[in-house]
Structure 1
Amino acid sequence: MRLDAGKRHAFLSQLAAKGVNLAMLPIVRQERKRAPLSFAQSRLWFLWRMDPGSAAYNISAALRVRGKLQPRALQQAFDALVVRHSVLRTVFRQEGEQAEQFVRDPQPVALRHVTLDGDDREGQARLLARQEASLPFDLEAGPLMRAALLTLNEDDHFLVVSLHHIVTDGWSMGVLVDEFWTLYAAFACGETPALPEPEIGYADYAEWQRLWMSAVDGVRQVDYWTRRLADPAVLQLPIDRARP
């Protein structure tokens, strides 16, 4: 059950008055279908609304894979990753004053497979990888993760994965890559992956962050910075032409 803003603020104020450190409130995992945006997501949503055709906030990785691949295990690994992390099947919409994130049911990942031919297959693969990384995402329609397998020959491949920054960051990409290969190795051997279930989802964190910021300490910090930045001085930086 979610309290309205007034009741939530009153409840958290009571906790703060009793000396509870609101920043230490636990993040509760729930099977959420919708949640508020985190503050980082709000910034990216704002920028995307200004320029929805931009790929500036794409995060892409191209992995060179040598040796025989099992396409079925590859597909299973991607699909399992989407099941594990609800943020990978999340889209964003604005219905009213505030945008929200909506978690979809798991769907198979559309893994694009391109078999290259000709003399300069590596050059073709690198060009296709750059093109794949530069395609914009539709944050409202999704999906916000793409994958492509570029095969030079049966023992040499490029695996290209692109995500929008609103659902991942540089640190998280390392986690996703590690989990992906753990999943792939298990499926390739016909085994059940042994990865533990994630303790929370990103929507749980976003809900917690908004809850904390609606409390007394969060309001105090916003008020402080609003006053501090109310009348900022113009920075006179050295530039190569007259200020417009």
Structure 2
Amino acid sequence: MKTVLITGASRGIGNAMASYFAKQGYRVLINVRQQNQHSDALLQTIKQQGGVAELAIFDITDKLAREQYMKQCPSLDVLINNAGCLADNLLVQTPLTDWQRCMATNYEASCALFELAKPHLLKSKQGCVINMASISGVRPRAGQSAYSVTKSMLIAWTHWLAEQYPQINSFAISPGPVATDMIVNAPWYQEKNAFNRIPLRRFCQPEEIAHAAYCLATHPMIYSGENLIMDGGYTQTTQTA
């Protein structure tokens, strides 16, 4: 049985990926900083559906915690660096602490986890790392300075991984707006003009991201190192706001 570790997996995209991989026969390691009602519900649902999963409780930004966890991880075939944080603000108004928090979560933790997982991924017959980036890393938006820069770094690092470790399939996925529970319940989501900037006229569904991640991990559709943009065509338009 293949094993996948998904960081930040209790809600949203991470939750959808955990459920999807479990249904495909993977043993799923659900990473959360602290056990919570969402992680417990996800774990219970997967087990009720006949899947295999367990909680991987550690803070990905804590060097000792991630090292201790990875030491007792017997095997790993797929690493999905999904956990991330926002720090919305204009560049000149973004404090250093926000830069450091975004850097530690969105970029440095992903690099560190890969180094710890690398021995397992190299042993796997189809080792893969998937980095969840963002279209903000492709086409930076005003007010997302720290977030955009760190996601752009994640995409560039993915390209580097493919060159340095051809034995491991390395991909980035850059979603646009995704219809997670948090987004769907926002008042503006119901506005008739909410999707006007998106050629597809809808947000991407979490399950679509999960399906793409699974396809990349099991049947690579594109060259290792590529960044898969899933935004309904938004970045192909001339609009920048």
Structure number, greater radius of gyration: 1
Q: Same fold per TM (> 0.5)?
A: no
Higher relative contact order (CA 8 A, sep 6+): 1
The TM-score bracket by the shorter chain reads under 0.3
